Amino acid sequence: MVRFGPAGNSSLFYDEGFKSSLEIPKFLKEKGLTAYEYQCGRGVRVKEDFCLQLKEASEENDILLSIHSPYFINLASEDKEKLEKSFNHIEKSLWAAEKMGAKVIVVHPGSIIKGKPRTESLDRAKSFLEEVLDKTKNYKDIKIGLETMGKVNQLGSLDEVLSLCLLSNRLKPVIDFGHLHARDGGLFNKKEEFIRVLEKIGEVLGEERLRDIHIHFSPIEYTQGGEKKHRTFDEREFGPRFEDFAPLIFKYNLSSVIISESQDKQTEDAILMKDIYNSLKGGV
Ligand SMILES: [Zn+2]
């Protein structure tokens, strides 16, 4: 089963008169959506009681939760203190995920160390991740998702994410197709290019892990350095386009969670993707 949902709330939620985050699952169910990525980008500031109530509301409305971890995480930092902080952000995200019943936390791998070969940053990230995995064994049922990133100077090309994910089955690739598109100057916008990505994941991590990838899909504006701004499906000049990707969900038998991060239209665009998917169901 494929699930669709937004990253955080778009204005639509408030425009329709909803206020409390605890009403989100009900709101999403009304829209026919089945997933939600709770945003902790600025820090994990949720209380246990809130998490438990959100868990209950999500189960009642069949909404599968994931958490977006703080943006401040950098797995490749040379600074010991920063690594410690990164670890705390990850551990707190895992804690909140367990209380909410979320199955994955999404982590940005970090940035490339300036003036040094990329492989050095990758190696640093690997050894730090091994430490993280070792220290968080009591959360082994929650996957740590590693996201492909939109800027060239960020750690998180497809190859880098897959290489990190080889460390453990507790790591899950989070394939952000908008980011791949932006990072590679407009590539990953055609069916053949999406196929290349999916084939690569299958080759490196195997069919089973391919079917279970976590996906972010939004149109994006980019410059030479990569990602500039998230856009919406209304703005047809920006890729990638979901209609070119959707048939591959069937071809590769994906059971992914697909999250929209469109600029303040994430709920609307998640609905659009779900509708495209449903219109193909059985017909491909
Ligand atoms: Zn992200």
CA of 39 to the centre of ligand 1 (A): 9
Taking phi over 0 as left and psi of -120 to 50 as alpha, with beta for the rest, 270 belongs to alpha
Residue 221's DSSP bridge partners are 229
- Give the pLDDT confidence score for residue 284 in this predicted structure: 46
Phi, psi of 212 (to 5 degrees): -105, 10
Phi, psi of 101 (to 5 degrees): 80, 20
CA of 57 to the centre of ligand 1 (A): 25
pLDDT in tens, 251-272: 999 999 999 999 889 999 999 9
Q: Which residues contact 18 (CB under 8 A, 6 or more apart)?
A: 24, 27
pLDDT in tens, 97-128: 999 999 999 999 999 999 999 999 999 999 99
**Whether the Cβ atoms of residue 53 and residue 91 lie closer than 8 Å to each other:** no
pLDDT in tens, 70-100: 999 999 999 999 999 999 999 999 999 999 9
Q: What structural domains does the chain harbor?
A: 3-280 (3.20.20.150)
CA of 181 to the centre of ligand 1 (A): 14
- Give the pLDDT confidence score for residue 283 in this predicted structure: 53
CA of 109 to the centre of ligand 1 (A): 10
